Amino acid sequence: MTTNTITKMSAKEVAQLVLEGKEIFILDVRNETDFADWKIEGSSVQIINIPYFDLIDSVDPALEQIPVGKPVLVVCAKEGSSIFVAEQIAEACRSNVSYLEGGMKSWSEYLEPIKVADLTGGGELYQFVRIGKGCLSYVVLSEGEAAIIDTNRMIDQYETFLQEKGAKLVHTIDTHLHADHISGGRALAEKHSATYHLPEKDAGEVTFHYEKLEDGKDITVGRERIIVHPIYSPGHTIGSTSFIIDNKFLLSGDILFIESIGRPDLAGLAEDWVSDLRETLYNRYKNLSEDFIVLPAHFGKITELGEKGLVSGRLGDLYKQNPGLNIMDEGEFRKTVTENLPPQPNAYQEIRQTNMGKINPNEEEQREMEIGPNRCAVHDN
């Protein structure tokens, strides 16, 4: 009897299958709690969960649910358990069996660069989709210079991209002090002698030097300008800042998402910040052009990914369709954004302290701190 061999699939390969809408069958062997909290999703993804310990003695429970003749990808937290299960499935004469290289940890860290547009000054704008975490970051390129907005901690992936583009990093920018993921902006800026920018009102406890983001103090990249406007757009944090690029794109940070709005409670000040959040969403943003294309710092649901995985939406359409922008009663709005919120992100207090420079966890500790969904929105579920 011939024994089938197993193959490994990288997070990049899986992400591209998901983004291209290609069918994929996944057996997730993590425990039920972890699976319920966070898993690989997509319109073309068919996924089942059978914990590893239920498959040690026999993979028959899995074989009963895996369609015959269909390729299967086995997934676990770090890789080891999925290799074992995949081997057992292959030995049962099933072909086309793969495992996710690096497990869900690698899925959490992969960034997919997606071109948003060519800019009028001759530059380019890219969105980096962290599909396994829901984080979105942006790269502006112009005349051999680059700026990165809301950088993730996996700075090597940005460096590879910039090297391929032949661009020198001149700015890294955080729209606010993040609580769901560790920023790579400061580390990347220091490594490449670039300038790191942060809103002053979010930087009261930081331990390092930064350049203040200020209203009207635009940031130049080659021939492109990143307009710091509508400047001060508080609500998710007290310093949350939005940007306009090419008089067309509104980078909204964690204030406004495609299907939801930002939550104001991650610094423990929801009651204080809810009025700021409403003012930003219902007044500051409302006065902007309806034709602005909103590019947020996160997505909460896989349904927010559009063509080729791009997460974006026309501002005027969001005011018609986004539930968080259509709560006219102030009391109801306050209740919505302060009560019945999703669980807070994993280790969010430690992540905030890391982003302030107060603690310096090692790489493995940082990975553990970031595991799970981002949960920056009021309506993630």
Q: Would you tell me how many other CB atoms lie within 10 Å of the CB of residue 209? A: 9
Measure Cα distances from 377 to 117, 173, 260, 342 in Å.
26, 21, 6, 8
Report how far residue 110's alpha carbon sits from residue 103's, in angstroms, rounded to the nearest whole number.
Answer: 11
347 residue type, one letter: A
CB 274 within 8 A of CB 316: no
Query: Residue 159 in 3-state DSSP?
Result: helix
Q: Which residue has the tokens 């799970």?
A: 372
Report how far residue 66's alpha carbon sits from residue 48's, in angstroms, rounded to the nearest whole number.
Answer: 9
Q: How far is CA 36 from the centre of its chain?
A: 19
272 CB-near residues (< 8 Å, 6+ apart): none
Full DSSP string of 217-245: --EEETTEEEEEEEEE--SSSTT-EEEEE
DSSP letter, residue 116: E
What is the set of active-site residues?
76
Q: Which residue has the tokens 């982003």?
A: 355
Phi-psi category of 144—alpha, beta or left, where left has phi over 0 and alpha has psi -120 to 50?
A: left
Strand order in the sheet with 249-253: 219-221, 224-232, 241-245, 249-253, 293-296, 313-314
20 CB-near residues (< 8 Å, 6+ apart): none
DSSP letter, residue 286: G
Report how far residue 265's alpha carbon sits from residue 342's, in angstroms, rounded to the nearest whole number.
Answer: 11
Which of these, 374, 5, 356, lies nearest to 203 by C-alpha position? 356
CB 263 within 8 A of CB 337: yes
CB 66 within 8 A of CB 87: no
Give the H/E segment covering residue 296. Answer: strand 293-296
